[in-house]
Structure 1
């Protein structure tokens, strides 16, 4: 593909369908200077997709030749609502990203930070650094569909990004502070960040559940919800999804998820009660085996049993066919191992075996998933779904490396979420161009480079009356000379 599917890489046509997000309130009314808000939104958007490594507000202002203060007011003080952008993204999700093979994917994203005043910052687990670190953390939801020919052809469409706010930032429990002085410091930070008064502490599973429900209520077509073990271990999230009849395939901690065989006889209902009054729990006999995914994997490894691993390939990678060893069985989840209680949650337990060979020994490790309301799915379908979760890691990498998702330097609640809202729009714009390419989709980076190149060519042709060949040469020389941009692989 030598050219973009569109006549030019300009974003005006794409952005026009989202104008209401920046020009009207939820009730349909507007405000006197909505045209200015809309203009600033388009400028911010264009700055994010232009080449350059600095996607802070100062960097964006420099790229689009506007005073930094005007963009700061756009993200900090304007009347537009970031949730309106998320709603429009749900309504405009492309058909190619939907369907029975697609999934909603939940994940957290860490943004390392220095200092203590950026909204929601704290010492917590940071996926970006792989350790406890000073950072902000968001809970993100994407819609993803598998590549038809290659793993790299997966399509992601952003649906929501919300800040996780540690308890100290909420201030509703004085016992969590080390001192009165610390409590006062956080109260001051909370006020300066403009955290709305109605914001209460929400664990990540609650934020994720809200995002999933909003997506499901919008009518999106998808097969199931995916998430790593941070979400899979949440009994509250799994119960919530079951209450909404939303299928899931959630990763587990293999050594810490007790189950029994689904056909295990149940005794009388438990009298110890449940934190969910609508859920029934039963006791099981002392003779019945409780096991973990890790226990089951070891049993399958035992050649004396009838259980066997199945070799499944789920996609074509850039270097080789992606495949692995899998086993599944029907289970019921144990809710209280000590009291031998089980609940209503049943489904496929899927486990994957990976072997790391070194010079001295080989180490077998296990991954596991609980798959609910996917009873009729084949083993191959479960494997493809669970490995589709990889696409949100790619999404995080793309929005950080190319769109500056982690470069917002403001401290406010609204500013942070508004920045991410425009980042999601920019990602959706690139995804739209990727889809127009048809088979063998180019990478996010290459498509973004093509858009920038084409926009520069069109501007030179329109403003300086260059013919296309001259404009192309000039655009590429200009882009390479003044930025970190490189010529895309056309």
Structure 2
């Protein structure tokens, strides 16, 4: 009789087999000599990421899989398979259970601290992990997330793409970007040493995010809108380009800097005044920040909304929304064509002086017919990407790659995304009706346990009962599971 361990191993191989063409052919359909070896090492790397033991460097994976380290290094560093092909397959295979009007595309940055200066993309830049400017790599990630029907923990997330951000110094050949000629020559050598493709040009993080979103939109993955934090939400060009491709969004903005007027404000149009080039609001209408809008509200204007159930209590807060138009310049009153819901949330926080209220704000476009509850659900869904980052780092070693090259980083992250997607597939088997799913960590633990049992039965000749006993002891004694 097929036991759980055999089934788990077979499921892993079956899952990966759906992506075989991504590891054995290029996107144009061509292939290369020894592509079968590439496929063999893909399986080893994939399974090694899921096996117990930390960290998940190539050295560790080679030891766990009892395979040659140099072959795995070549698979990641040099093999001609394309990470974009893997991502394209991931977008084509999004489970229906994660799609739907309630789901959202989430874009965010992920910091990977580094001690050295020679890995591709490393720079002194904002690192969310350390919460400060730090020496790190930063990736821009796009995921699809759907909230749990009842519990916050039942959210489902599917990886869709990752791109390494390169600062101007890593991509430009403009002398003004460098402090001196020596620095310019050093970065030129770094680009060569890390094999940055010659056609890679500098793109801002919002531009990278938009590229990933456009790929998702072309795949017609069902979702309600795009969600992001203030870094992306405050980029006016990012919001404008989303509107250009008719992609709805619920993007966080600054409560003290973003400025609006009521949507129904009578505007001064440029064609009515020969010297005017931009539409503007009248001088007798004062633009306001979200904080100023909130300050003028009475207590009865806010609505208490519960959007999900947390591990300890219901997740709820006070919200308010109003129709607005964005103001581009306060001094001239120039306005943009961006209209929609301004969503506000009063957040309770405790400090030394007692309880106070902090404000958060979102600009919501293309979701005119959405209810207040729907807007709140989308806005609060962004936390899923933070959980995604924790899952792929703590459980799958996303931040453990020690190679320095452009291809190596993207290859490693592509297999990490595949391993994450496999765990999500297994999570879907543990619940029903979008509820009561086992946690990501629990499913990882189940996979590890079943893998250990299978290994003991095959390598040590243990029967099933003895293998289960030994596996339980080993995992409790020597691993976080």
Q: TM-score range by the shorter chain?
A: over 0.9
Task: Tell me the alpha carbon deviations over residues 103-158 of structure 1, each in whole angstroms, 9 at most, x when there is no partner.
Answer: 00000000110111010000000000000001000000000001012000000000
SS of the residue 2:301 aligns to: coil
Provide the residue aligned with 1:201 in structure 2: 202
Task: Tell me the alpha carbon deviations over residues 252-296 of structure 1, each in whole angstroms, 9 at most, x when there is no partner.
Answer: 11111000000111112277888xxxxxx4111110020011111
Provide the residue aligned with 2:323 in structure 1: 330
Provide the residue aligned with 1:315 in structure 2: 308
- For the Cα contact (< 8 Å) 1:75–1:419, is it kept in 2? yes
TM-score (norm 1): 0.93
Provide the residue aligned with 1:426 in structure 2: 419
1:163 and 2:159 correspond: no
Provide the residue aligned with 2:121 in structure 1: 120
Task: Tell me the alpha carbon deviations over residues 359-394 of structure 1, each in whole angstroms, 9 at most, x when there is no partner.
Answer: 534322100000001000000000001101100000
Provide the residue aligned with 1:299 in structure 2: 296
Q: CA deviation at 1:428?
A: 0.3
1:414 and 2:410 correspond: no
- For the Cα contact (< 8 Å) 2:118–2:404, is it kept in 1? yes
- For the Cα contact (< 8 Å) 1:282–1:342, is it kept in 2? yes
Provide the residue aligned with 2:359 in structure 1: 366
Q: Relative to structure 1, is the Cα distance of residues 92 and 272 closer, same or farther in structure 2, using a 3 angstrom cutoff?
A: farther
SS of the residue 2:252 aligns to: strand
- For the Cα contact (< 8 Å) 2:270–2:276, is it kept in 1? no
**Alpha-carbon separation, structure 1, partners of 2:276 and 2:237:** 16
Provide the residue aligned with 2:215 in structure 1: 214
Q: Relative to structure 1, is the Cα distance of residues 359 and 234 closer, same or farther in structure 2, using a 3 angstrom cutoff?
A: closer
Number of aligned pairs?
A: 473
Q: Relative to structure 1, is the Cα distance of residues 456 and 259 closer, same or farther in structure 2, using a 3 angstrom cutoff?
A: same
Provide the residue aligned with 2:284 in structure 1: 287
SS of the residue 1:440 aligns to: coil
Provide the residue aligned with 2:132 in structure 1: 131
**Alpha-carbon separation, structure 2, partners of 1:51 and 1:232:** 38
1:42-121 aligned at under 5 Å gives the runs: 42-121=43-122
- For the Cα contact (< 8 Å) 2:5–2:454, is it kept in 1? no
**Alpha-carbon separation, structure 1, partners of 2:4 and 2:145:** 23
- For the Cα contact (< 8 Å) 1:9–1:452, is it kept in 2? no
Provide the residue aligned with 1:237 in structure 2: 238
Q: CA deviation at 1:72?
A: 1.1
1:397 and 2:390 correspond: yes
SS of the residue 2:7 aligns to: coil
Q: 2:341 aligns with which of 343, 348, 365?
A: 348
Provide the residue aligned with 1:187 in structure 2: 188
**Alpha-carbon separation, structure 2, partners of 1:358 and 1:42:** 51
SS of the residue 2:52 aligns to: coil
**Alpha-carbon separation, structure 2, partners of 1:132 and 1:117:** 18
Provide the residue aligned with 2:255 in structure 1: 254
Provide the residue aligned with 2:229 in structure 1: 228
SS of the residue 1:460 aligns to: helix
SS of the residue 2:121 aligns to: coil
Q: CA deviation at 1:6?
A: 8.8
Q: CA deviation at 1:463?
A: 5.2
1:443 and 2:431 correspond: no
**Alpha-carbon separation, structure 2, partners of 1:309 and 1:224:** 24
Q: CA deviation at 1:9?
A: 4.3
Provide the residue aligned with 1:150 in structure 2: 151
Farther off after superposition, 74-83 or 356-365: 356-365
Task: Tell me the alpha carbon deviations over residues 212-250 of structure 1, each in whole angstroms, 9 at most, x when there is no partner.
Answer: 000010110000000000110111111111111110000
- For the Cα contact (< 8 Å) 1:5–1:436, is it kept in 2? no
Provide the residue aligned with 2:368 in structure 1: 375
Q: Relative to structure 1, is the Cα distance of residues 393 and 324 closer, same or farther in structure 2, using a 3 angstrom cutoff?
A: same
**Alpha-carbon separation, structure 1, partners of 2:6 and 2:253:** 43
Provide the residue aligned with 2:479 in structure 1: 484
**Alpha-carbon separation, structure 2, partners of 1:260 and 1:272:** 23
**Alpha-carbon separation, structure 1, partners of 2:267 and 2:446:** 61
Gaps of 5+ in 1: 275-280
Q: Relative to structure 1, is the Cα distance of residues 380 and 472 closer, same or farther in structure 2, using a 3 angstrom cutoff?
A: same
Provide the residue aligned with 1:474 in structure 2: 470
Q: CA deviation at 1:338?
A: 1.5
**Alpha-carbon separation, structure 1, partners of 2:131 and 2:38:** 38
**Alpha-carbon separation, structure 1, partners of 2:311 and 2:29:** 47
Q: CA deviation at 1:437?
A: 0.8
- For the Cα contact (< 8 Å) 1:460–1:471, is it kept in 2? yes
